[in-house]
Amino acid sequence: MAANSKLEPLFSDELRYTSSIDHVGNLKWVQEGEGTIVNLLNRIRRSQITKDTAFRLFQLSWELQKGMYQNDVKLNFHGDFQYSLFRDKFRVPGNNMFTPAWVDSCLIEATMFGKSPKPSQHQKDLALNAIDKYRNFNKPYKNSEMTFWHQKLNKTANYYQSSPDNLFEVLKLPDYLPQKLIEESLSFMGLDDIEKS
């Protein structure tokens, strides 16, 4: 750590845990010997998304929402051995209300019942603001009814529906392919009736 501007200890009875600011301004928990708990807390803090990112096909970029913690949806299907690498490596980032709620409640409980450092207020605010976007929009007033996935308005039904945005983008990938070019190439190779096989 370059710039070690020490802040006050987090516990009066446990002076081993202090917070400091590293050379790029990130809050980091410091303990003598960098113990397992502190390393885990720093890893969790670094996994929190700090800015929104839109889905882009070219220069593949998944939709990531500020305040979420990195988590992946894996397609766990059964099949031949040749698909094992695909099953192991293919993952899609998931945006949902559960992840920040679960991670932050675990961090708060670890502070309350253990000797764990507190998560920063900024970290908690990011998570709470992210969770707040998952309210049920079908109610015409503020409510505590939450949805697992982000809701989008179905204009035909005039109703908000929950959907896993990144998973739907995977399902839409064939729509981005140049179908006419593929059909012409298959026809040129004499494979224009491949769809009938």
Both 40 and 68 in one domain: the answer is no
- Taking only the tens place, the pLDDT of each residue in 71-100 is 888 766 667 776 777 777 777 888 899 999
Both 109 and 84 in one domain: the answer is yes
Both 31 and 118 in one domain: the answer is no
Specify the number of domains making up the chain. Answer: 2
**pLDDT above 60 for 11:** no
| Cβ contacts of 169-178, under 8 Å, gap ≥ 24 | 169/55, 169/62, 169/63, 170/92, 173/57, 176/57
Both 64 and 3 in one domain: the answer is no
Both 72 and 132 in one domain: the answer is yes
Both 12 and 102 in one domain: the answer is no
Both 55 and 39 in one domain: the answer is no
**pLDDT above 70 for 2:** no
Element (H, E) at 27: strand 27-30
**pLDDT above 90 for 14:** no
Both 104 and 56 in one domain: the answer is yes
Both 99 and 180 in one domain: the answer is yes
Instruction: Write out the residue range of the structural domain in which residue 124 sits.
Output: 51-196
Both 107 and 179 in one domain: the answer is yes
Both 95 and 14 in one domain: the answer is no
- Taking only the tens place, the pLDDT of each residue in 125-136 is 999 999 998 988
Q: Which of 46, 65, 81 is the last residue of a domain?
A: 46
Element (H, E) at 160: strand 159-162
To the nearest whole percent, how much of the chain has pLDDT over 70?
76
Model pTM score: 0.65
User: The tokens 């976007």 sit on which residue?
Assistant: 133
Both 85 and 126 in one domain: the answer is yes
